[in-house]
Chain A
Amino acid sequence: MKRVNSFRRTLFLTLFMILLTLIFLFPLFWMVVTALKRPEELATYPISIFPPQAQWIHFQQVLFTNEVTDFFGGLRNTLTISLSTTVIVAISSALAGFGFARYKARGKNFFFGIVLATMMVPLIIMQIPQYIIFSQLGILSLPWPLCYMPWWLTAAPGWAIFIFYYRQFFASLPKELEDAAVIDGCGRLRTFWQIFMPLAGPAVTTTCIFAFQWTYSDYVQPLLYLIDENQVLAVKMLMDVKIPGVKWNLPLPPIPYQMTVGIFYMVPLVFLFFAAQRYFMQGIATTGLKS
């Protein structure tokens, strides 16, 4: 009796999960079939779900020609910006988070309050003043890859949410670690770098994944700071997608090609998630985000 029940339960659960997955994946399925249609086929009535003839050539055109968009140029820019920013953010946020977690000082709670408050300040309010600062510093007309300086400069102080996150993480480590380091004659910075950072692997992974994904998909900042030749994929996908062979281009980018670029755009993110998901889970679990 019990076995039958458990079998039924498994069956039910599996079916339920498959149904859920289908619902979640339906928009993605739509993305793929749209990518495979010819631009004119989007205007037919009644709509066809599957294209009469799948246009796999779109995939080829996006990857192997520059006629749709400079895909690999965009990808190179996107990866440069996301990787460099991620590395800087992961380290600098850890520094500040470590300070907040491990040392007592007057004004600490005040500054931590500010860290939390800055999470709530809408970024749009600072855009133009920040632009003026960067413009005055003269870093907006530098050649590649220094044109990504605005990201590095905003990443160098760390991001509030990650500072908070690292603080939680470092606060959960035992006090004895530090005492041992002092006995070994380590300086503060070395204690941080050689003793605490190696223990923070999962936390670093989590930070990196989120920082990477957010930088990767942002298009508001790149639109503000970058010139066309250094532009990232997220912007190119919205503004600079053409139909190969059509010289005079439409007021709107052709949707099937946009979708095709979008699919390739996702590939690095999917890889990253696959590669890092185990650490990623651990990272959040060990922090426990207590208090």
Chain B
Amino acid sequence: MKKTLVVLLLLAVVAFGCSNLFAASQVRVTVMYNANEFSADHVKQFEAENPDIKIVKLETDIARFMAMSAAGNPPDIMRFNGAAVPYLANHKMIMPIDSLISKGKYLKKDDFESIVDNFKYKGKLYGFVKDWSPTLIGYFNKDAFTEAGLKFPSPTEALSYAQLADYARKLQKTEGDRIVRRGLAFWPGDINAQLEQTLIQTGTNLYSKDGSKLVLSTNPQVKAICKFFYDLAKEKVIPSPISPSETWEGSLFPGGRIGMIVYGYWYGAMSEGEQTKGKIGVLAAPQWDPKKPRVSPSFNVVGGVISSKTKNKEAAYRVFDWYFGGPPAKERASSGWGVPAQKSLQGLVATDTQLGKDRAANLKEEMKYIKFGNSSPYVLPDIYENSMRKNFELALKGDISFDQFLVNVENEVNKQIADNKASAKKKK
């Protein structure tokens, strides 16, 4: 056994030596990103083009991110939602990239769409959008519409929420209590997201201006929106905890099991299934208040940020620049799985089918009305999400009243914000 130990030790020493050698000739850039978005092929492609940089690719995992951050060694590039940027920037965990952009190869400031501002905090840009979608764009099943005797909506003119709900109820098809076809589904199917995006249309915000308070119970719009979804959920016209989808709605819709799916622009790329080929139409983003000027919200804008603790800024930015502005960005832009955040990359999607044409026409219209919401620099969005989901489930089951639901969420989130603010002050 001693011998084995000695051999193992020796091996370890040799390996340490080797890894140091590697380190000398190659710069390592750690990337924490989902495998289905930043693939092994991307890593190979980048390393072939840039032999002096080695990408260390990790799967996105919040526990690991925390452990790495606490160890003072966070990943250089991370995948985050734009809504997290104020918190991360306020806690100095990520760094502004303005100065790096001017030196970079692909990303050019005058080429940015306004959506990039989602990654801004106090005037500085902290990250970049992978790709995004006007998230209320939907798709509908033409067969289901014909069956219910409804006229196909136009891809450029918005329905109102009331109309949407009316259609959804008519499209709902049941056998006894069993749902054969659900009327409507939203992405992602949780109340927090539904409230967040709809609220953008009303011109009010989730958080107060300085992000120090979540405002729910005093905002009449919030109540009205939540009540709208609460009623639909109670009727089981939309999936909810009391009537969950049997599998991800994104795979139910192509099979004709959902009448309308409000999943955002990106979903169009996979909305057609074998039986539903050529039978899918585009729904323009519905309007909460049709009397007000049209707004097409975008929320949950996902992209990358660079850690403030990165040891080699230039190398990290080269990877960042390449992924968000270089060949992978072009690849994404032509796939139709999202809208690029650069003006120069627009319009690369093929439009040879009717659906493709509808999508293009719709997108052109929606792009005029894009808006997004705000978030708090004192908490990450997760706490709001968790609290909303939990209390909405309780409200639907009747464990708490509908009014209590909003009050609970507000209390839980605001308490956390207050705690975080207080401790930040104490430290100073």
Please report A residues at the B interface, Cβ cutoff 8 Å.
Answer: 39-40, 42-45, 70, 91, 127-128, 131-132, 135-136, 138, 141-143, 146, 149, 193, 220, 223-224, 227-229, 231, 235, 239-240, 242, 247-253, 255
Q: How far is the CA of A231 from the CA of B35 in the complex (A)?
A: 12
Query: A42's contact among B16, B247, B270, by CB below 8 Å, is which?
Result: B247
5 tightest Cβ-Cβ pairs between the two chains A and B: A43-B255, A131-B67, A249-B36, A135-B71, A240-B35
Which A residue sits closest to B67, measured CB to CB? Answer: A131
Instruction: Please give me the residue from chain B that is nearest to A146 by CB atom.
Output: B15
Does the CB pair B274–A250 fall under 8 Å?
A: no
Does B381 have its Cβ within 8 Å of any Cβ on chain A?
no
Instruction: Indicate if B59 sits at the interface (CB-CB under 8 A).
Output: yes
Q: Would B67 and A45 count as touching, CB distance under 8 A?
A: no
**A131-B70, A135-B73, A239-B59 given; A250·B270 CB < 8 A:** yes
**Cβ-defined contact, A91 with B15, below 8 A:** no
- Which chain B residues in 1-54 approach chain A with CB under 8 Å? 1, 11-12, 15-16, 18-19, 22, 28, 34-37, 40, 43
Q: Which residues of B contact A43 (CB under 8 A)?
A: 247, 251-257, 273
B binding-site residues for A, Cβ under 8 Å: 1, 11-12, 15-16, 18-19, 22, 28, 34-37, 40, 43, 56-59, 61, 63-64, 66-68, 70-73, 180-181, 247-248, 250-257, 269-270, 273-274, 331-332, 335, 337
Task: Give bound CA distance, A142 to B73, whole Å.
Answer: 15
Name the contact of B251 in the complex, choosing from A39, A141, A239 (C-beta under 8 A). Answer: A39
* Cα(A40)–Cα(B248), bound, Å: 11
The answer on a CB contact under 8 Å between A229 and B57 is: yes
The answer on a CB contact under 8 Å between B18 and A143 is yes
Looking at the assembled complex, report how far the CB atom of B271 sits from the nearest CB atom of chain A, in whole angstroms: 12
CB within 8 A of B255: which of A44, A135, A138, A228? A44
Using CB atoms, name the residue of chain A closest to B253: A43
13 A-B pairs (CB sep. < 8 Å): A43-B255, A43-B256, A70-B40, A127-B63, A142-B15, A143-B22, A146-B12, A193-B1, A235-B59, A240-B35, A240-B36, A249-B37, A251-B248
**Seed contacts A141-B56, A252-B248; 9 additional CB < 8 Å A-B pairs:** A44-B255, A45-B180, A135-B68, A135-B72, A193-B1, A223-B64, A240-B35, A248-B335, A252-B251
Q: Which of B16, B71, B257, B269 contacts A45 (CB 8 A)?
A: B257
CA distance A229 to B28 in the complex (A): 14
Partner of A251, one of B18, B63, B250: B250
Choice from A91, A141, A227, A255 contacting B57 with Cβ under 8 Å: A227
Which residue of the partner chain, among B43, B70, B255, contacts A40 with CB atoms under 8 Å? B255
Give Cα A137 to B181, complex, Å.
56
Please judge, given known A-B contacts A91-B1, A131-B68, A227-B58, whether A255 and B250 are in contact too, CB under 8 Å: no
CB of A259 to closest CB in B, whole Å: 13
- Contact check: which of B35, B70, B181 meets A228 at CB < 8 Å? B35
Which A-chain residue is minimally distant from B187 (CB atoms)?
A251
Q: Is the CB of A248 within 8 A of B337?
A: yes
Interfacial chain A residues near B11, Cβ < 8 Å = 146
How far is the CB of B34 from the nearest CB of chain A, in Å? 8
Closest beta carbon of chain B to A52's beta carbon, Å: 12
Name A132's contact: one of B64, B71, B257 (CB within 8 Å): B71
A141 to chain B: which residues have CB within 8 Å?
19, 28, 56
What's the Cα separation between A247 and B37 when bound, in Å?
A: 10
The CA-CA distance from A149 to B273 in the complex, in Å, is 46
Residues of A within 8 A of B337 (CB): 248
How many Å lie between the Cα of A171 and that of B346 in the bound state?
74
- Please measure, in the bound complex, the distance between the C-alpha atom of A223 and the C-alpha atom of B253, giving whole angstroms: 32
Q: Smallest CB–CB gap between A260 and chain B, Å?
A: 17
- Distance of A44 Cα from B180 Cα, bound (Å): 9
B residues near A249, Cβ cutoff 8 Å:
36-37
In the complex, what distance in Å separates the CA atom of A223 from the CA atom of B56? 14
Indicate if the CB atoms of B67 and A132 lie closer than 8 Å: yes
Known A91-B1, A131-B68, A146-B11: A252·B250 in contact at CB below 8 Å: yes
**Which interface residue of A70, A138, A146 has the most chain B CB atoms within 10 A?**
A146
